[in-house]
Structure 1
Amino acid sequence: MINTLTSLRFIFAIMVFGAHCYIINDFFNTHFFKEGFVGVSFFFVLSGFIIAYNYQEKLQKSTITKRSFWVARIARVYPLHWLTLFIAAGLGGYVITSGIVDWLKHFLASLTLTNAYIPKADYFFSFNSPSWSLCCEQLFYICFPFLIPLTKNYKRLLYVFGFMAILIFIGMYFTPEENIKEYWYVNPITRFPDFIVGMLLFQLYERLKNKDITFLQGSLFEITAVAVFSGFYFYAAEIPKVYRYSCYYWLPVAAILLSFSLQKGVISRILSNRVFIIGGEISYSFYLIHLLVLQLYVEWQKSSTTQIAWYISIPVLFCTVILLSLLSYYYFEKPANKKIKTMLNK
């Protein structure tokens, strides 16, 4: 386990939380908060890195099978997804517009994590809307074992990425503004290069991890990476959103991931604190639960005569999500993960 990367998951999950707080108050309807959707790009790139870190060598040497890999990913993704999906459905997360058949089609698409392939917001954002990103993760996991032959020579993987990147730049340039979200933000196929970036970063990490990097050098590397990411983040308002949905952030996210994966600097020491690591461990629960909590609060506010200031409600809601995420992780995610692995590996 690379503790710093686990901790970073928590930080970027908080950024996604901040990006959705605009539904509570207009104070959060600014670039600083709403650009937090970059957290999703980070998760996709991180996924490529961590999956390669955990499984590349095992699959290369056939110490695990493709089936075992896929079972592990199913056990990780689906239990909490289905739980939050049923909760969202029970809370009215999707409004029936064309009768029960229409509702069932949307529900089935969400249930099987195929909703993000349908270029309609009422599909990919229906029920618990953050789950659209799980459709992308599912595609990544399906494809990963078949990419293993390319990892024996990183140049082949780099060529594949370069070809995909060129197609993406061309496609983005010619896509009308009103269609960019469905084609470039939520579409699993067009988000696949994010995952490849992570896999490529792992190949670079393998070459750097045993280098004699001093504490000072590691600290400078980390501080520089944070500065680069911050520069991209704050300048992003000047960049067309279609590029910011993925390719614009490849470089700064890669700098963050690579620098902190080495765990050689001062910021890594801070991120190695157990509090941050636990935050990273519960980040999946946090991600899938947070918007349900925010939306419930908004609905309560609509019917309530009591108006609570955002600087009180947001911290309370944040702590509520943290508490629910802890309960989910320790009393649902981990037991369900273990049970499903046991059941499917029989």
Structure 2
Amino acid sequence: MINTLTSLRFLFAMMIFGAHCYVIDSFFDAHFFKEGFVGVSFFFVLSGFIIAYNYQHKLQENKISKRTFWVARIARVYPLHWLTLFIAVILGNYVVASDCMDWLKHFLASFTLTNAYIPKADYFFSFNSPSWSLCCEQLFYFCFPFLIPLAKTYKRLLYLFIPIAIIVVTGMYFTPEDEIKGYWYVNPVTRFPDFIVGMLLFHLYNFLKNKHITSRQGSAMEIISVLFFLSFYLFASEIPKVYRYSCYYWLPVAMVLISFSLQKGVLSRILSNRLLVTGGEISYSFYLIHLFVLLLYAEWQKETNFKIAWYISIPVLFCIIILLSLLSYRYFEKPMNQKIKSLFNK
């Protein structure tokens, strides 16, 4: 496990949290917060890197089977997804359906993580809306074992990535504004290049990890990558949003990931703090739970017409989400993960 990358998961999950806080107060309507959706791009690129880091050599050397890999990923994704889906059903939120059959279609699409393939917001954002990204992860995990022959060298992956990237950028240019979210933000097929970027980074990591990099050099790499990312982030409003949904952030996210994966600098030592690592470990629970809490509070605030200043309510809500995430991770996510793997790997 690379502790620094685990901690980064928490920091980028917090950015997604900040992007959704606009439901509480208009203060969070500012670009600085709403651009936090870049956290999703980070997770997709990170997924490609971490999956390659953990499984590429094992699959290449036949130390594990495709079945074992897929079971591990199903055990990771589905239990908490289904739990939060049923919570959303109980709460009666997040879907607009004309009749019972229409509701059932939405439910089955969310249940099977196929809702993001349908370019309609009432599908891909139905029920627990952050779960759309799991549709993308599901496609990545399904395809990864079949990419192993291409993953032997970075050149083969580049031959796959470059034409796909050209098609993506060209397609983005010709897509009408009101359709970009359905086709370029949530669609698993068009987010696949993010995952390949992560796989390419793993090759770069293998090249760099045994190089002699001093603490000073490592610190410089980390600081430069953070500043580079922030420059892209803060000036993103000048770039059409369709590109910011993925390709615009490929390079800055890649620089952050590769510099911190080496764990050579002073910032890496800070990110290796156990509290931050724990935050990264619970980031999946945090991601799937946070919007429930924010929307429930927003609804209560609207019904009661009782407004608490955001600088009080947001920290309190954040602490509640952290607590719920810790409980979810400790008493549901981890036990269910182990049970499913032991059940299907017999």
Q: Tell me which interval the TM-score lies in, with the shorter structure as reference length.
A: over 0.9
Which SS does the other structure have where 1:188 is aligned? coil
1:343 equivalenced with 2:337 (yes/no): no
- How far is 1:336 from its partner? 0.3
2:320 maps to amino acid = T
- How far is 1:146 from its partner? 0.3
* Cα separation, 2, equivalents of 1:6 and 1:259: 14
Q: Is the 8 A contact 2:94 2:125 kept in 1?
A: no
Cα distance per residue 1:71-99 (max 9 Å; x no partner)? 00000000000000000111012345311
- How far is 1:344 from its partner? 1.1
Matches within 5 A, 1:308-319: 308-319=308-319
1:106 maps to amino acid = H
Q: Which residue of 1 aligns with 2:118?
A: 118
* Cα separation, 2, equivalents of 1:215 and 1:223: 12
1:277 equivalenced with 2:277 (yes/no): yes
Q: Which residue of 1 aligns with 2:218?
A: 218
* Cα separation, 2, equivalents of 1:148 and 1:199: 10
2:127 maps to amino acid = F
1:52 equivalenced with 2:57 (yes/no): no
2:69 maps to amino acid = F
* Cα separation, 1, equivalents of 2:295 and 2:6: 27
Q: Which residue of 2 aligns with 1:149?
A: 149
* Cα separation, 2, equivalents of 1:95 and 1:36: 24
- How far is 1:44 from its partner? 0.1
Matches within 5 A, 1:169-208: 169-208=169-208
- How far is 1:303 from its partner? 1.6
1:58 maps to amino acid = K
Q: Which residue of 1 aligns with 2:252?
A: 252
Q: CA-atom RMSD, angstroms? A: 0.7
Cα distance per residue 1:205-227 (max 9 Å; x no partner)? 00100110000000000000000
Which SS does the other structure have where 2:20 is aligned? helix
- How far is 1:299 from its partner? 1.1
2:177 maps to amino acid = E
* Cα separation, 2, equivalents of 1:229 and 1:217: 18
* Cα separation, 2, equivalents of 1:290 and 1:127: 13
Q: Which residue of 2 aligns with 1:262?
A: 262
Q: Which residue of 2 aligns with 1:93?
A: 93
1:48 maps to amino acid = G
1:244 maps to amino acid = R
- How far is 1:104 from its partner? 0.5
1:206 maps to amino acid = N
* Cα separation, 2, equivalents of 1:303 and 1:96: 20
Q: Which residue of 2 aligns with 1:163?
A: 163
* Cα separation, 2, equivalents of 1:86 and 1:173: 38
Q: Which residue of 1 aligns with 2:40?
A: 40
- How far is 1:306 from its partner? 2.5
Q: Is the 8 A contact 2:229 2:252 kept in 1?
A: yes
Matches within 5 A, 1:325-340: 325-340=325-340
* Cα separation, 2, equivalents of 1:97 and 1:147: 39
1:304 equivalenced with 2:288 (yes/no): no
Alpha carbons of structure 1 residues 95 and 243: separation in structure 2 relative to 1, 3 Å = closer
Which SS does the other structure have where 1:260 is aligned? helix
Percent identical residues: 77
- How far is 1:35 from its partner? 0.1
Q: Is the 8 A contact 2:172 2:242 kept in 1?
A: yes
* Cα separation, 1, equivalents of 2:152 and 2:239: 36
Unpaired runs of 5+ residues, structure 1, are none
Q: Which residue of 2 aligns with 1:129?
A: 129
TM-score normalised according to structure 2 size: 0.99
- How far is 1:305 from its partner? 4.2
* Cα separation, 1, equivalents of 2:80 and 2:305: 34
* Cα separation, 1, equivalents of 2:97 and 2:164: 38
- How far is 1:153 from its partner? 1.7
Unpaired runs of 5+ residues, structure 2, are none
Q: Which is further off, 187-196 or 89-98?
A: 89-98
- How far is 1:54 from its partner? 0.1
TM-score normalised according to structure 1 size: 0.99
Q: Is the 8 A contact 2:94 2:129 kept in 1?
A: no
Which SS does the other structure have where 1:190 is aligned? coil
Q: Which residue of 2 aligns with 1:8?
A: 8
* Cα separation, 2, equivalents of 1:101 and 1:188: 25
* Cα separation, 2, equivalents of 1:299 and 1:96: 17
